[in-house]
């Protein structure tokens, strides 16, 4: 079931179009990665979801209902540019933001104690945000985002500013929230986190959606018949012998630190990997042979550069 559905959303400003006819669907309890280069329109879309701005046309459905002010308390949003009041204490600030999201003081206090214990930051309660490090403040911001148990979580670059250990903690928390039924939309440039966490991705470029789908499917669709091979004592000049099954000019060779040669070969359509493997055996001691499946990063770059 789709929890979030955007249909033909368009937003124009005087000089430019921020989003053109964008449609995406996010399944309930899944993590959707919203990708795109800077200025593609991701922030505009997120602001529309948060009802900060109104689209010129198109509709947004949340849990089957048209997006409306009452949904504010169902959404948790952590913007890319984090911000908290520097001269306010951690605890009262968290309470304030929780109440703005519609929680009452008492519930907010209980939930905050739970999260502060969980993150082992209870001693920060009376500290001023200005006195915390960036990573510490980010933790507080994360808690504030998820405190009111939103059904839709929107994270804009959730891992920026975290050290690897804390990034790991946050990642686990997000996955746990997902397991509890939250739907997560997350916008990022960090492709490795997309591969690790997202179930679906959507790529926005120049205000248009250029690609979307289940992550495995997207990757499968971008297979390009390339294989990575590592051979000991390989004589590169013999590569031309494979001219009938491989496009030689697109092959890449590299000598690695063990004096082995890494080769990426693109096969001509219609030939099987079996055959390539057989032919390679005679070149030397074959160390590894694997299909080169493009990473999301490659797919991203490939699409962005295409247009």
Partner 1 sequence: MNKIKLIVKREYITKVRTRSFIMMSLLGPLFLVIVFGLIAFMASLNGDNKVIAIYDETSLFTDAFKDGVGLEFDYMPTLGLKEAIDSADERGYYGLLYLPFGAEKELEEGKCSMTYYSDTTPLMSISSHVRDDFEDRVWALKLKGHPDYSAIRGENQHPDVDVDVKFISYKGELKNSKNGIILMVIGALSGIMIYMFIFVYGVQVMKSVLEEKTNRIVEVIISSVKPFELMMGKIIGSALVGLTRFGLWTVLSGILLSIAKNAFGIESPSNKIIEEVVNPEFENEMHEIIMSILDLNYYLIIGAFTFFFLAGYLLYSAMFAAVGAAVDAETDTQQFVLPITLPLILALYSGIMVLENPHGPIAFWLSIIPFTSPIVMMARIPFDVPTWEIVLSMSILSVSFIFTTILAAKIYKTGILMYGNKVTYKDLWKWIRNS
* Count of residues near partner 1 by CB under 8 A: 26
Nearer to partner 1, 144 or 185 (CB): 144
160 interacts with partner 1 by CB under 8 A: no
Only segment of 25-33, 100-108, 166-174, 218-226 that touches partner 1 (CB under 8 A): 100-108
Binder of partner 1 out of 39, 56, 57, 86 (CB under 8 A): 86
Binder of partner 1 out of 100, 110, 277, 281 (CB under 8 A): 100
Binder of partner 1 out of 1, 38, 81, 240 (CB under 8 A): 81
The CB-of-45 to partner 1 minimum distance in angstroms stands at 13
The CB-of-277 to partner 1 minimum distance in angstroms stands at 54
CA atoms lying within 13 Å on the CB side of residue 84: 33
Q: Are 197 and 31 in contact (CB under 8 A)?
A: yes
Kindly list the distances between the CA atom of residue 90 and the CA atoms of 138, 195, 239, 285, in Å, as whole numbers in the listed order.
Answer: 11, 33, 63, 61
| Angle, CA of 109, 93 and 67, to the nearest 5° | 85
Q: What is the DSSP string of 22-76?
A: EEEEEETT-EEEEE--TTSSHHHHHHHHTTSS--SEEEEEETTEEP-GGGGGGEE
99 interacts with partner 1 by CB under 8 A: yes
Nearest to 91 by CA among 133, 122, 53: 122
Q: What is the DSSP string of 294-305?
A: PPHHHHHHHHHH
The CB-of-238 to partner 1 minimum distance in angstroms stands at 55
Which positions from 41 through 70 interact with partner 1, judged by CB under 8 A?
47, 50-53
Question: Which residues of this chain interact with partner 1, rule CB under 8 A?
Answer: 14, 47, 50-53, 72, 75, 77-79, 81-88, 96-97, 99-102, 144
């Amino acid at each position: 079931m789709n929890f979030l559905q955007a249909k033909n959303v368009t937003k124009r400003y005087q000089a430019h179009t921020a989003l053109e006819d964008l449609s995406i669907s996010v399944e309930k309890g899944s993590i959707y990665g919203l990708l795109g280069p800077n200025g593609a329109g991701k922030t505009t879309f997120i602001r529309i979801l948060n009802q900060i701005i109104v689209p010129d046309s198109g509709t947004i459905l949340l849990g089957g209902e048209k997006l409306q002010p009452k949904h504010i308390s169902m959404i948790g949003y952590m913007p890319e540019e984090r911000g908290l009041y520097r001269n306010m204490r951690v605890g009262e600030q968290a309470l304030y933001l929780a109440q703005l999201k519609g929680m009452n003081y008492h519930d907010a206090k209980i939930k905050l104690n739970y999260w502060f214990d969980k993150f082992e930051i209870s001693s920060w309660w009376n500290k001023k945000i200005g006195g915390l490090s960036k990573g510490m403040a980010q933790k507080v911001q994360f808690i504030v985002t998820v405190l009111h148990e939103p059904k839709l979580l929107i994270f804009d670059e959730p891992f920026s500013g975290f050290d690897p250990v804390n990034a790991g903690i946050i990642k686990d928390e997000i996955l746990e929230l997902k397991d509890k039924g939250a739907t997560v939309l997350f916008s990022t440039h960090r492709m490795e986190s997309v591969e690790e966490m997202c179930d679906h991705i959507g790529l926005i470029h120049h205000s248009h959606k250029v690609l979307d789908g289940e992550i495995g499917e997207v990757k499968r669709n971008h297979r390009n018949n390339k294989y990575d091979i590592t051979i000991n004592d390989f004589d590169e000049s013999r590569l031309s012998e494979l001219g009938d099954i491989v496009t030689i000019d697109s092959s890449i060779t590299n000598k690695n630190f063990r004096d082995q040669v890494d080769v990426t070969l693109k096969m001509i359509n219609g030939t099987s990997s079996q055959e390539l493997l057989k032919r390679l055996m005679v070149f030397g001691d074959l160390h590894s042979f694997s299909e080169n499946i493009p990473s999301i990063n490659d797919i991203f770059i490939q699409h962005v550069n295409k247009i």
